[in-house]
Structure 1
Amino acid sequence: MTMATGRMVAGRYELSTIIGQGGMGQVWTGYDQRLDRRVAVKLLRPDKVAGQEADELRRRFVRECRVTARVDHPGLVTVHDAGSEGEELFLVMQYVDGADLADHLAEHDPYPWQWSVAVAAQLCAVLSAVHAVPIVHRDLKPRNVMVKQDGTVTVLDLGVASVMDTDTTRLTHTGSPIGSPAYMAPEQAMGGAVGPYTDLYALGVLLHELLSGQVPFTGTTALGVLHRHLYEPPVPVRQLRPEVPEALEALVLRLLAKDPQHRPASAQETYEQLLPLLPGRGMPTGAPLDPTRPFLRPHAPWPDRARVPAPRPQPATAVGRPDVAAAVDEVKRLLGEGRVTQAVDILGAILPAAAAQHGEHSPVVRTLRKQYAATLMDDGQYRRALPELRRLADERATESGQADPQSLRFRYDAAQCLEQLGEPAAALAEYRALLPYYENQYVSGDPEIALEVRRRIGHLLLALGDRPAAQDTLVRLLHDVERLRGPGHPLAADIRRTLQWLGQVHV
């Protein structure tokens, strides 16, 4: 282990020992001097793994940390602090005492299948809470899972893959894809729309590895591994380990379905299918870090959590009527300081008072509601933003017609919310309904939105498993992008790479 020389981060966190190192940076143990506690500090060097502007990456990093910190679940590592210092981004987390799942697997050969079920069930509980936010982990793998002393598992690195690059197939200048090819779902490898179904595929890879001792697809290059994910069926685990229950093998094969629509509908459903295979009442084995220990029933997901919208904060009424103007000024100040979550709460609280003072359809209230919806989206609160955007779109369309540009923009943002919420079919329907309006606006000299809508349609078709339709959409889009923007345009390169996966072009 490498010892630090007393380096301080953010004037508060003293680095101690390196416990992990990779292409994205380093992980250190350290001490929070203010609270006198042990922490883990992840240092990321964005210039080494992403080609985008550093300032934009920092903004996305802080936003993603803010969103992930909203998830409240005992199976998720707690985020204490985040920010940037010099060329590095830092993330301060709870220190987890235990072994990562890759080491745990290596130390137990063969890995008891009951342990595999226990680990997978706990991961389902975590994913259920994460997907309810909604967040997609994007990089679930054994190195990102810790087995603690009490047998519970803790998931690390939530949101980091999303921050480093939303296009997980883009290669770094070292030639490695961002993400982990061995655990990457077909739609993720091709650059399609990711969703909860993408994490369920990674869970299937992880469960296959625990049961058989090996990942389902290997290769000498990252691209070779991704190609096998796309086109080869996995070997059923009972061929490698006959004592595995048939129901467990069938679940692994469903999780590893190439078509996302053929996988289980949710982490909650996957948990329920694992439930009959969990160990019953009794004593744990006594082995170190036994992941069956937390059962009878682990931290079970809350079945209806994802369907219940977060409550809108109520306005304070302790001292007469709320001061709308003062609240608006406060929101501007908070947004200027990057305190988006607090700004969202104030906007949500002040809207009823503003409607009472100025009228529900007044310009003041309309402006506040637009700001509220935009801020909810910026804060990653897509479940709450969606009904606000739909209402704004309907009102504008009623007043100014279906082709009103502002109404179309609200509908476009609503479609993005549906995409983020893991509802690809609904998002696809909305984008398809919007496309004729944007294509009719080519005469205005601004085809960018139409091209982007077509790109999203292609990626959603991949997520829905309709490769022929995706291929047709993207071939036509490539032709138009090359005609309008030239063959060297970045969008043309992205489309060409996806089509290469589909076997249609050779780059």
Structure 2
Amino acid sequence: MTEVPARHQRMGEQVREGLTVGGRYYVQGLLGKGGLGEVWEALDGNLRRPVAIKFVTGVMLYPDDAGRFAREARTLAALNHDSVVTVHDAGTIDHDGHALPYVVMELLNGLTWETAQVDSVIKAGARLAGALAYIHAAKIVHRDIKPANIMICTDGRTMLMDFGIARDDKSLTRTATTTGKVFGTPAYMAPEQFQGSAATPASDVYALGLILVEKLTGQRAPASHLTGGARNAIPKHLMSLLARMTSHIPQDRPSAAECALQLRAPATPSVSAPPKRRTLTDVTDVTDVTDASFHTEVLTSAKPVIALFYAKWDGPSRQIVPSLEAIASEYGNQIEIVKIDIDRNQKNAAKYCVMAVPTLNVYVDGEVAKTIVGAKPKVALLHELRDFLDS
């Protein structure tokens, strides 16, 4: 929480310990104060349970925030998810002759992720990604994902809070308004928001990816910008995901639902460990190289080799070949490309762990250093390949 102007502080004096709100909520103690609002602990006299009440104490200085606050209450009231704070009630109280809005929420016990420790950053990230998938499905963009808006509760829950600048997809506004007011927290904003574009679900995914990178490495930077020890602090099976989440291109980022799925997936050998070394006898139906030249051009090549396992009838295989040739050119032709037709032989496909076509194996010094399964959009497959080549 930040310091607020003296005038603002005077306006907040009406909110005090002992105040009764809505005829049933007895204000007991201040939990936190920000530039535009205060959160107080209170007792619900009807149900005899503790609650949290949020007031917009800056309503006189910033009248537009009253409407924004009302939208927050309506937004939260419509949501029902284990990782989204629950709204119980909303209304207004008289504040020096003006209506002071408030919203009553469940009282969360814990610390924000600015200081709180978690047993597993990945598990916390999966819960948050699940919450984002839920609100995105409801056509809502949060627009201010940051550690201060994430509560790590003592009961084990990870909660997404503060929907004060959330928007549904019909009312998304630009990051900077004509008055110069910025929506969101610059440290966790996606690049497109700095360029004045409207926030989208991909912007929320970027912010979450940045938080996960920061919590895993201690550095707040896109995963593709990490080097050395910081890069090694990220589980290998999640490097590609975090690189995509923090891509500067919104279209390259995965959906929150995909993030949740991959963050929950265990680091199985099929994902994180390379297959066993291939020998010449493992190879059949080779095109563009002969059986004899495969050993020379792939297994003993001085350059990394991208082997494309494809089927003649497969449309995506044909689409990806020009892109692979472009990648080879981008890297100064320091890599080779070999196309291997698995045809319709499922037994042959199984030898290479080819579960979908196209599938890429990257061979380095005769070993399979990377397998990229093609059961994903072409742009995602190529992005994952570039990430590996850059690592």
TM over 0.5: yes
User: 2:157 aligned with 1:168, yes or no?
Assistant: no
Residue from 98, 111, 125 that aligns with 1:120: 125
Letter in structure 2 aligned against 1:104: A
- CA shift for structure 1 position 150: 3.1
Which residue among 250, 259, 262 is the counterpart of 1:270? 259
Deviation at 1:58, TM superposition (A): 3.5
Q: Per-residue displacement from partner, 1:364-399 (whole Å, max 9, x unpaired)?
A: xxxxxxxxxxxxxxxxxxxxxxxxxxxxxxxxxxxx
The answer to whether the 8 Å contact 1:68/1:135 transfers is no
Cα deviation for residue 261 of structure 1 reads 0.1
Counterpart for residue 235 of structure 2: 245
SS in 2 for 1:139: coil
Q: Summarize the alignment of residues 48-87 of structure 1 with structure 2, pairs less than 5 Å apart.
A: 50=62, 54=64, 57-85=65-93, 86-87=98-99
Describe the superposition over 1:400-443 as per-residue Cα deviations: whole angstroms up to 9, x where unpaired.
xxxxxxxxxxxxxxxxxxxxxxxxxxxxxxxxxxxxxxxxxxxx
Do 2:31 and 2:39's aligned partners in 1 also have CA atoms closer than 8 Å? yes
Q: What is the TM-score of this pair, normalised by structure 1?
A: 0.45
Do structure 1's residue 90 and structure 2's residue 117 form an aligned pair?
A: no
Inter-CA distance 160–9: structure 2 relative to 1 (3 Å threshold): farther
How much has 1:255 moved relative to structure 2? Answer: 0.8
Distance in 2 between residues matched to 1:31 and 1:234, nearest whole Å:
48
State the shift of 1:60 in Å.
4.8
Give, in whole Å, the separation in 1 of the partners of 2:238 and 2:199.
25
CA distance in 1: counterparts of 2:139 and 2:227, whole angstroms: 31
Superposed displacement of residue 64, structure 1: 4.0
The residue number in structure 2 matching 1:204 is 209
Q: Name the CA distance, whole Å, in 2 between partners of 1:141 and 1:73.
A: 19
Aligned equivalents of 2:49 and 2:178: distance in 1? Answer: 38
Q: What letter is aligned with 2:248? A: K
Larger proportion of strand = 2
Counterpart CA distance in 1 for 2:233 and 2:67 is 50
Query: Unmatched 5+ residue regions in structure 2?
Result: 1-12, 269-391
Aligned residues: 250
1:257 paired with 2:265, answer: no
RMSD across aligned positions (CA): 3.2
Q: Using the alignment, how far apart are the partners of 2:221 and 2:39 within structure 1? A: 28
Residue 408 of structure 1 is matched in structure 2 by: none
Q: Structure 1 unaligned runs (5+)?
A: 106-110, 218-232, 280-507
Post-superposition shift, 1:244? 2.3
RCO comparison, higher one (Cα < 8 Å, 6+): 1
Contact 1:23–1:49 under 8 Å retained in 2:
no
2: distance between equivalents of 1:34 and 1:165?
38
What letter corresponds to residue 43 of structure 1 in structure 2?
Answer: F
In 2, Cα distance between equivalents of 1:65 and 1:143: 19
2: CA distance, partners of 1:122 / 1:79 = 19
Counterpart residue number, 1:12 = 24
Whether contact under 8 Å (1:138, 1:159) holds in the other structure is no
Match of 1:104 among 110, 113, 116: 116
| Alpha-carbon spacing, 1:170–1:34, altered in 2? closer, same or farther (3 Å) | same
Which amino acid in structure 1 is aligned with residue 81 of structure 2? H
Look up the equivalent residue of 2:101 and give its one-letter code: L
1:119 and 1:70 map into 2 onto residues whose CA distance is 23
For the 8 Å contact 2:26–2:42, the answer to whether it is kept is: yes
TM-score, normalised by the number of residues in structure 2: 0.57
The CA deviation at 1:239 is: 4.0
Task: Decide whether the 8 Å contact of 1:68 with 1:159 is kept in 2.
Answer: no
Distance 1:5 1:165, change over 3 A: farther
